[in-house]
A and B are shown apart, each in its own frame.
Chain A
Amino acid sequence: MIADNVKHMLETEEKNIATRAAYGAKLAELGGRYENIVVLDCDLSGSTKTSVFAKKFPERFFNFGIAETNMMSAAAGLATMGKIPFASTFGVFATKRAADQVSISIAYTKLNVKICATHTGITVGEDGATHQAIEDVAIMRSIPNIAVISPADGTETEKVLEEIIKIHGPCYVRLCRGSAPIIFNDDYHFQLGKGTRIYKGDKATVVCAGFTTHIGMEAAKELERQGIGVDLINMSSIKPIDSRLLVESAKKTGLVITVEDHSIIGGLGGAVCETLAEGQPAKVIRLGVKDRFGESGTPKELIEAYGFGKKDIIAAVKENIG
């Protein structure tokens, strides 16, 4: 059964939108409501979509050029002056390149910086390994004091932004390059530390986030058609994670499949394993990038080759249910 706040997106095929596009539009709107928002970018504003804000509020937009480490520490400085900095660049540069600056200038200090990174996962596609963030969640999750959020669609991206602006402290928001269907209705409410059960079933628990949520939904729907009901959980709040929901679901199903456009080490799959190992040991199958770098290709080809598509989820469920 599908949850109330979820659209029947698979039937409607309503406007697909990339979460980065939703971010750009929403940020510009928030800029009108919050005068202390400042936006920082590193020569990628057209791609991260902070260009929308830059056009509307040029005096509150700072392009740091191709200098991510400088941008992150400068964001920390701005935060000490009462601003709410949104710092954007591609996921690889926001996390891997500027890891120490994020850790020490932003996280250690608990400063109110919102890092909104786009182009995450191998679904970045043709640019290849150097531009595909497959370790960003692992890196950010291991740094204390930062919330890690991976919205599944345009609606959730907007709701996440509304929510994190009210929270004082560092956040990492993981956004995607490619378009995905709108999943949530406007009455959906995002809450940090809470996951959403989109489908309900008792044979297995499928945990998704970000770009994989709509893929998981397609798989859950197909499985339901075949008489195999699964819990499909959108775990956009990867840190803090919704352990209660995970434990409750794993207790019921005894089998958990995690699906992520990220390395299976340290990301959503890692977080779920850590939670369940301590709370409700269960068999966990992690679908995602299996300890290797990405490569060039279309997002579709890569999802298939790296094994976290619809058919991989279905196979993982069927092969492992008791």
Chain B
Amino acid sequence: MEEKKKNRLKKVAAGLRQDIIRMLCLAGSGHPGGALSMTDIFSYLYFGDVLNIDPNKPDKKDRDRLVLSKGHACPILYAALAEKGYFDKSHLKTLRKFGSILQGHPDMNKTPGVDISTGSLGQGLSCAVGMALGARLNGQSLKVFAVIGDGECDEGQIWEAAMAAAHYNLDNLIAIVDKNGLQIDGFTKDVMDTEPLAEKWKAFGWEVATIDGHDYDQIEDSIQKAKNASGRPAVVVAETVKGKGVSFMEGVCEWHGQAPSEEEKEEALKCIGEFKTD
């Protein structure tokens, strides 16, 4: 990736991270860890000319679709959508509040830019399979992206979807696994070991790339290859750090589902600021 683009995306990512921290602090509850681990990839997808979308026409028929199957990580989706211009940034302050367009988990009927409602883990990839099948039937050349968690891969439905996607040769479907190594009760290897994860996807008939999910060259490379996959679906297994960008949250299980206090927010914003340029 060009240095200029990389710096731009890193800057966007820093802004998204700050938005995540701010909105969660105001909400008083929610999930920072899995939102921060996906931020660099979201920066690339939404601001790196990847997704064919138009914030002024959120329902445009031929748009690319993005399914946040790990719905609890919605602060990153909301931050990206707001930054992109789907809705005014002031809405971020209403996250999880009564009457907000920004629900605790994504609601396609309330939030412009959300392609399907999620929150019950394991269902999103199946929805994405349906979208990809539909697009093909319609003769639309759009791509469907599905972002799933590594803990979420415990769900049998993920593998039912994986099987179906390969069976139907869905080369218009791209899955991204946020392999941050943590779920709620601890490390995925201790709670329910899904390793060897990449090999599992391979065995299910997918094209697999394993990358550092915070390295923009690798992100771009893998996503572009996945977009060009032919005859089968592609998955990017992104090795990430849960809580990435906020040193005291990085790799700490408790920051899965806990909002920062006012003080922690200030400290987090400082951490993120330092990451802006390098």
Question: Hey, which bits of chain A sit against chain B, CB under 8 A?
Answer: 41, 43-47, 51, 63-67, 69-70, 92-93, 96-97, 125-131, 295-298, 301-302, 305
Contacts and interface: CB of A to CB of B under 8 A. Distances in A.
Contact of A66 (B29, B30, B71, B155): B155
A296 B191 contact: no
A96 B122 CA distance: 13
A297 B97 contact: yes
A-B CB proximity, top 6 nearest? A65-B192, A130-B119, A297-B98, A65-B154, A128-B104, A66-B154
A131 B105 contact: yes
B99 interface: yes
Contacts, number: 91
Chain B interface residue number, banded: 20 to 34
A45 B185 contact: yes
A107 to B, nearest CB: 20
B103 A129 contact: yes
Given A43-B184, A45-B185, A63-B192, A127 B105 contact: yes
B191 A126 contact: no
A61 to B, nearest CB: 11
A297 B151 contact: no
B183 interface: yes
A45 B191 CA distance: 11
B103 A65 contact: no
Contacts of A45: 185
B98 A298 contact: yes
Contacts of A131: 104-105, 119
A128 B183 CA distance: 20
B222 interface: no
B207 interface: no
B37 interface: no
A130 B120 contact: yes
A128 B191 contact: no
A128 B107 contact: yes
Contacts of B71: 130
Nearest to B95: A296
B27 interface: yes
Contact of B30 (A64, A69, A126): A126
Given A43-B154, A66-B152, A128-B119, 17 more contacts: A43-B184, A44-B185, A63-B192, A65-B151, A65-B154, A65-B188, A65-B192, A67-B155, A67-B156, A93-B120, A126-B28, A126-B30, A127-B104, A130-B71, A297-B97, A297-B99, A301-B98
B256 to A, nearest CB: 10
A65 B190 CA distance: 9
